[in-house]
Amino acid sequence: MLKKIKIQFPDKSKKEYEQGIKASSIAEGIGPGLAKAAVAVSVNNHLQDLEKPITKDAKIEFVTFDTHEGQKVFHHSSAHILAQAVKRLYPKAKPTIGPAIEGGFYYDFDIKPLNQDDLKKIEQEMQKIVDENLEIKREELSKKEALKLFKDNEFKKEMIEELGKDGQTISIYRQENFFDLCRGPHVPNTCKIKAFKLTKVSGCNWKGDVNNKSLQRIYGVSFPNKKQLNKYIQLQEEAAKRDHRKIGKELDLFSFHEEGAGFPFWHNKGLIIWEEVLNYMKGVIKRENYQEIKTPIILNKSLWLRSGHWDHYKESMYFTKIDGIEHAVKPMNCPGGLLVYKNNIHSYKELPLKAGEFGLVHRHEMSGVLAGLFRVRCFTQDDAHVFCTEKQLTDEIKKLIESIIAVYNTFGFKEYQIELSTKPEDAMGSDEMWEKAEEALRVALKKAKIDYKLNPGDGAFYGPKIDFHIKDCMGRSWQCGTIQVDFSMPERFELTYEGKDGKKHQPVMVHRAICGSLERFIGIVIEHYAGKLPLWLSPVQVKILTVADRFSSYAEIIGEQIKKAGLRVEVDNRTESVGKKIREAQLSKANYILVVGETEEKEKTVNIRTFFNKVLGAKKVEPFIKELLKEIEEKRIPQE
């Protein structure tokens, strides 16, 4: 008779099963709907395959496509189907890497240049693989066995050599006669991937290094059903009209240049938006009693070793030498913030101590994933760190949650999903430390009456986190804000405060960002509003158009009056038809278009319409200015 094990579900209910039961069987027992929807399972906060036996008492939660982690599993499995299809059609092709990315997946191949017709053939072969309902199985090999298995693929061999020492187990996933080096988890069979589309192919280089072999990168998207794919295609058509790169070029906001790939160049009008967001966020931290600090962009190796970034984040960092000593360009602001805290002696009376930094960080991104402001190599983080006692921790997290939601509402993002990400495989610190941190986040979410989804194993290497995924007007999800609880860094940096008992104690560090990256957040805002920004953000708030040349003087007087009130205004007194000037003003996304002619000059008024072509009629200038200032103060969302 098999031993029984206890399984605890998210609602805290428990049930006994035979030892070695698979999560897929548990799902089937609960209901066919769950069995169909589940793509993986979290067992004691560790993500694994549905077909892996559960051998001891465990807390489990099924992961579905409607979670961030579920989509990663689904998309990565789709990348394996793509690789199998390519190998069937082009046996000499060598697969390299094929990760899930935001919204989809890609796979890089050492193969001849491909075109759109090739993608159609590959799609057809992928459909055959899906229809064949192939089981996707995990296997574990020794390093020696793995090197032998991939003996004809120098890219995989290089990855195996980098994975670790001899004796370390290496996992692969196999479907029929195709196999791939992978940590997993994956969906249990190919039939789960019901709907997919290959979107484009482009050139790239192995590991993003131009000195390495040239490869072909195939991008794709996938969904559990055709309806979701069709919706995605419709959204892409709408998104193309709203593309921030296209709008940025049309409105002269920013540009990108080969001389600095992945580094945005802000133009005057774009910088206005950037500074408005920055100043608003500075106002937020000022109201919430944060100190504002600024730390260096380049810091030496010893700091990054101490923080753990050198071991856990090195692949994403840039390096230089100063006086023969290795330094790194900071990818995160937190180590600098730790040094600022450590510079002074602190008492429990100061806690919670809050410090905000709008720090410029640099991260190495592969050229193939750069995407306008959405994926850049340098960006400004709206970072803040709260140093508090363990007793204060839950309340401080709750305040941060409320603050983040209030900011999103101000920008017009009313819908969001929150995910709790737990201990990853490369975590620093003890299990006890992680459990305390995760429990603090869970309790704070409960106190704030926030529904959330679990994202197992996706925490930062130094602590668990809450991630905020905002939804734009097209229903697309964007991960922006984060709250991370960190017991590890204060321990590594030996941070202390003097308690009521006169003894030294260690504070807890809470990392938080709201926009995440100002650059990326601005890109999201531009697409959300299709460039028709709220008045307070708009680089051109008012545009004055003349009916004829003789009204230029009146237009300039009105322009100066509006400018003195602190508003951003442009005058268009060109010798062009009014109709043409109105059309161009609307294309420039100026919030208010004022037409002045004989009647307006005589009656000291302006004739007003909005960028939605809503005609407001004639108004006196002073009352109109007051209305605009009130709209800015209230940060109103534009209405058609």
Is there a catalytic annotation at residue 186? Answer: no
The one-character DSSP state at 351 is P
Question: Phi-psi region for residue 486, left (φ > 0), alpha (ψ -120 to 50) or beta?
Answer: beta
Give the DSSP H or E segment for 24: helix 23-30
Other Cβ atoms less than 10 A from the Cβ of 282: the count is 16
Give the DSSP H or E segment for 560: helix 552-564
72, 385, 442, 532: which is the annotated catalytic residue?
Answer: 385
Is there a catalytic annotation at residue 469? Answer: no
Angle at 415 between CA 412 and CA 418, to 5 degrees: 125
Contact 352, 388 (CB under 8 A): yes
Torsion 570-265-250-616 (CA) sign: negative
182, 204, 334, 515: which is the annotated catalytic residue?
Answer: 334
Contact 106, 98 (CB under 8 A): yes
Whole-angstrom Cα distance, residue 136 to residue 43? 19
Q: Cis link prior to 623 (omega < 30° from 0)?
A: no
Other Cβ atoms less than 10 A from the Cβ of 322: the count is 9
Is there a catalytic annotation at residue 301? Answer: no
Q: Which two tokens stand for residue 425?
A: 């495989």
Q: Residue holding tokens 């601005």?
A: 522
383, 467, 486, 572: which is the annotated catalytic residue?
Answer: 383
Is there a catalytic annotation at residue 385? Answer: yes
Whole-angstrom Cα distance, residue 145 to residue 154? 15
Q: Which two tokens stand for residue 426?
A: 């490369």
The one-character DSSP state at 313 is S
Contact 335, 271 (CB under 8 A): no
Contact 34, 70 (CB under 8 A): no
Sheet of 178-181, strands arranged across: 137-141, 170-175, 178-181
72, 75, 244, 511: which is the annotated catalytic residue?
Answer: 511
68, 192, 362, 363: which is the annotated catalytic residue?
Answer: 363
The one-character DSSP state at 370 is -
Nearby residues of 365 by Cβ (< 8 Å), 6 or more positions away: 208, 262, 316, 375, 376, 377
Is there a catalytic annotation at residue 66? Answer: no
465, 512, 532, 609: which is the annotated catalytic residue?
Answer: 465
- Residue 120: strand, helix, or coil: helix
Contact 175, 84 (CB under 8 A): yes
381, 467, 528, 589: which is the annotated catalytic residue?
Answer: 381
Whole-angstrom Cα distance, residue 542 to residue 558? 11
Q: Which two tokens stand for residue 53?
A: 């036996």
Nearest-CA neighbor of 403 among 469, 481, 316, 336? 481
Q: How far is CA 255 from CA 241, 258, 267, 370, 374, in A?
A: 18, 10, 8, 13, 13
Task: List residues with catalytic annotation.
Answer: 334, 363, 381, 383, 385, 465, 511
